[in-house]
Structure 1
């Protein structure tokens, strides 16, 4: 019986290790797909070698004890290019730090798949397009900083459902319409929305929001 129990324990351990390896390989593939989109004049991504078993040895990537990628920190790295949808496959990610770079293009709607994300920092880039409504699915999100880009369109009303959101900064974009007032928006200072010339202030309580100028 003891031998059988030991055998079962070994099989379970091997299955756990194999599962972690598969997850690491998938996450490594997603990160390398991002690498292929980026121009990296300072060589900050030179350690991102797709032939390694997992990406946990790569610089600017942090993993948990199960070798799952939980943090990507490429802030202020002088990289350029687009983000791309592949990052939506990093489902264990908690911190996405891509601020102060030269990133262009849209924010991928696939980032709404990052259900464990706590902090989304994309500020001070050259991102365009609208803010994806899919980000309203990020129920663990506490910090959303998209300021100092070239984002357009309205602030998704669905963000009022983000009950854990503590900080939002959408200032210095080209957003339009009105600012939600429900949920966490009742506590956010207006400084987080300033310098959007087509944004018309908080929506009025009890009235259907109207996106003036959108």
Structure 2
């Protein structure tokens, strides 16, 4: 009776030990992996036994050896799919760039996208996003590049889009948007 119990305890301890190896940002990204459809197994290098996610496919980190932080996530053209996971990605405090170009990111772009406060570059072009453009996007104070080309966003461009603080590039072509918007006002 004690032998099966000992085996169960050893297995549980090894699982806990492996999960606790990965830093907090890695745990968030691993949660991202579990939330996305990945039919081509592009994210197979995302291993919870690693100490950090800095060597994972598509992940770029910055900082010194003792304190690295995820700054870029480039999963462009990887055939991943699912809703845009702001509840996960916006927990990465130093994330400057997200590139999900040419995938199957779907549903609506959540209003809480503004919680990704450090973002400078957001490329969600050529996906399957629908619904209205989030009026909260201009609340991203550092955003310089926004490409939402080739989705199925519909409705008018929100009035708030005239209030971006640092935006230099905006592309909304090939959507189902209505009306005109004068960005010179």
Verify same fold: TM over 0.5.
yes
Q: Unaligned stretches of 5+ in structure 1? A: 1-23, 187-204, 206-214
Alignment equivalent of 2:145, drawn from 143, 146, 155: 143
Counterpart in the other structure of 2:69: 68
Structure 1 residue 44: deviation in Å? 1.4
Establish whether residue 33 from structure 1 lines up as the match of residue 31 from structure 2: yes
Are the counterparts in 2 of residues 155 and 175 from structure 1 also a CA contact under 8 Å?
yes
Q: Which residue of 2 aligns with 1:107?
A: 109
TM-score normalised by L of structure 2 = 0.79
What RMSD, in angstroms, separates the aligned Cα atoms of the two structures? 1.9
Counterpart-to-counterpart distance in 2, 1:50 and 1:148: 34
The TM-score with structure 1 as length reference comes to 0.69
What's 1:155 paired with? 157
Q: Which has the higher contact order (CA 8 A, sep 6+)?
A: 2
Structure 2 equivalent of residue 81 of structure 1: 82
1: CA distance, partners of 2:84 / 2:30: 12
Q: CA, structure 1 residues 128+67, in 2 after alignment: closer, same or farther (shift >3 Å)?
A: same
Aligned residues: 161
Q: 1:45: how far off? A: 0.4
Q: CA deviation at 1:135?
A: 1.5
Structure 2: unaligned runs, 5 residues or longer: 1-21
Per the alignment, residue 176 of structure 1 pairs with 178
User: Contact 1:87–1:111 at 8 Å: present in 2 too?
Assistant: no
Structure holding more strand per residue: 2
